[in-house]
Amino acid sequence: MPLLPVLSLPALPLPILPLPLDRAGAVTLQEQIYQALKSRIVAGALPAGTRLAATREAARALGVSRNTVILAYERLASEGYVEVRAHAGAFVARLLLDPRPPPTTLPAPLQFEDDPPPAVNGPHLITRDATRPVFDLWYARPDPRLFPAAQWRRLGNAALGACAVGLSAYGPVGGDPRLRRAIATHIAVHRGIAVQPEQVVVTSGAQDALNLISRLFLTPGDRVVVEDPGYAAAAQVFEAHGARLHPVPVDAEGLDAAGVERLGPRLVYVTPARQFPTGARMSPARRTALLAACAACGSLIVEDDYDGEIVFDRPPPAALATGEGRERTLFVGSFSKTLGSGLRLGYMVVPLRFAAAAEATKSLMSYGQSWLDQQILAAFLEGGYYQRHLNRLRTAYRARRDAALAGLRHIFGDRLAVPATDGGLHLCCVLPDDGPDASSVAAAARAVGVGLHPAAECGVRGADATLARTLLVGFGALTPDELALAFTRIGQSLEARRAGN
């Protein structure tokens, strides 16, 4: 049925006339009719309720095809300038337009004596792009050139072509059911975590999950154990919710749980698959001890698996959320390191008894994530594309790790301490005692256009004195050739500084 049927009403003045048309111009006749009517409607020359001429009459009067008028009317209707009434015709719609011009200057902000201070005064770790050097060794930064753009585009087109109804409606707060099922299947196969889909809560990355966990489980004054050294952004979230932090040292075997039972914390935050920042993998003995200590004092474990899937020389380790830990562990996963932080999709897995409360609490924070992105990611997981992508990443990043290690060894020799090299997107490097500290090396690198970053600059919090001599060297965003050039520049800059002294 056509949009505008031929009307058998008495002839009325045509509101679109006079309407001069440029038949030799570059702008189509349809576009000219649309623009002319739109401008008159917005200006008020055609007030709300004005009936437009029937398409056949308008076409005859303007000397154009009826289809040209129909398409112009349809566009006006789709944009809300015209409304079509069955068996009556097309009428100018009532527009809620603000006639006031926009202000040319912004008012000064009002000042109040009781304005609250910022809750967190930590480093803004996600706003570096404006000052990022060409060769930047920023930690945990994946290479956008490795993003599976072609496959992502095909899956996106398929999702939109099937039915884009999800774009106009709120989805389930806990996440798209298809994506929750796909994540549950993936972590069961590749991480050994057997869960039901309703235990999976889709988030906007790991930081969103940590905020959700804090809302769900923390009250002011609760104790939270964190790793020392550890991830400052997680500590800041817990502090912002009123928690009292208790840093516990980590070593080559991960967090030492000896004092956890005595503290009786509400939460224990750990990165067991690849400790941040050292890269250490928690040993089986330490895992067993942590689970036993938390069971004895009733603590919950927050297991942040921030880059546990990027491994080179071994399979991903078993998660704490498996076996005996499944009823005591809140597992936090993210796609930021494997696909890209701009996707803003992650997830948390909670014991079944917390599933309803987690979803209800999430509704206080947001009404869910993008329907389209969730649909694409679900199809990416279901079709086996994600696993193939991981295999490709592991091969690419292994070569980049090797190039970074070679460059570091060439400059600093074997006295450079690199605790772990078997996964992730960065190397934790402790500089020799008899050379420049981390800030001095970073300054020398910056002087030749290379970003090299001390641990404190990368959001590492801890009391260890060696942090002043620690660099986090990210290798993910640069190719082996680019890394070789970057380390050549760093070596030359340090040599020039030594010669100058």
The structure tokens listed for 364 are 């206080």
pLDDT higher than threshold 50 for residue 210:
yes
Of 271, 386, 250, the closest CA to residue 319 belongs to: 271
pLDDT higher than threshold 70 for residue 125:
no
> What is the C-alpha separation between 468 and 483, in angstroms, rounded?
24
Eight-class DSSP state of 311: B
SS3 of residue 24 by DSSP: coil
The structure tokens listed for 337 are 């390191």
Of 309, 327, 247, the closest CA to residue 273 belongs to: 309
Q: What is the model's pLDDT at position 99?
A: 60
The structure tokens listed for 285 are 């003995």
State the angle between helix axes of 29-43 and 66-78 in degrees (0 to 180), rounded to the nearest 10: 40
Burial state string for 292-324 with b = 16 or more CB within 10 A and e = fewer than 16: ebbeebebbbbbbbbbbbbbeeeebbbbbbbee
> What is the C-alpha separation between 255 and 248, in angstroms, rounded?
7
**Picking from 149-163, 238-252, 296-310, 480-494, which range would have the lowest pLDDT averaged per residue?**
149-163
Residue type, position 137, single letter: L
pLDDT higher than threshold 80 for residue 452:
yes
- pLDDT digit string, tens, across residues 366-421: 888 888 999 999 999 999 999 999 999 999 999 999 999 999 999 999 999 998 99
Eight-class DSSP state of 169: S
Of 320, 314, 352, 315, the closest CA to residue 333 belongs to: 320
- pLDDT digit string, tens, across residues 436-450: 999 999 999 999 999
SS3 of residue 475 by DSSP: coil
Beta bridge partners of residue 7, listed in sequence order: none
pLDDT higher than threshold 70 for residue 4:
no
Q: What is the model's pLDDT at position 163?
A: 62
Q: How far is CA 254 from the centre of its chain?
A: 27
> What is the C-alpha separation between 471 and 455, in angstroms, rounded?
5
Listing DSSP states for 282-323 in one string gives: PPHHHHHHHHHHHHHHTPEEEEE-TTTT-BSSSPPPPPTTSG
Residue partners of 107: CB distance under 8 A and separation at least 6: none
> What is the C-alpha separation between 424 and 279, in angstroms, rounded?
8
CA distances from residue 8 to 13, 303, 450 in whole angstroms, order as listed: 15, 72, 76
Q: How far is CA 340 from the centre of its chain?
A: 7
Q: What is the model's pLDDT at position 325?
A: 86
pLDDT, averaged across the chain: 87
SS3 of residue 145 by DSSP: helix
Q: What is the model's pLDDT at position 85?
A: 84
Q: What is the model's pLDDT at position 7?
A: 35
Of 487, 473, 475, the closest CA to residue 429 belongs to: 473
Residue type, position 256, single letter: D
The structure tokens listed for 400 are 């980049």
Region 477-499: mean pLDDT is: 93
- pLDDT digit string, tens, across residues 454-480: 998 888 998 887 899 999 999 999 999
Whether the Cβ atoms of residue 455 and residue 428 lie closer than 8 Å to each other: yes
283 pLDDT tier (thresholds 50, 70, 90): very high
Of 116, 138, 120, the closest CA to residue 129 belongs to: 138
Helix or strand run (H / E) with residue 385 = helix 385-412
Phi first, then psi, for residue 285 (nearest 5°) are -65, -40
> What is the C-alpha separation between 275 and 252, in angstroms, rounded?
9
Beta bridge partners of residue 249, listed in sequence order: 228
Eight-class DSSP state of 251: E
Region 33-39: mean pLDDT is: 89
Q: What is the model's pLDDT at position 109?
A: 73
SS3 of residue 490 by DSSP: helix
Task: Please state the pTM of the whole predicted model.
Answer: 0.79
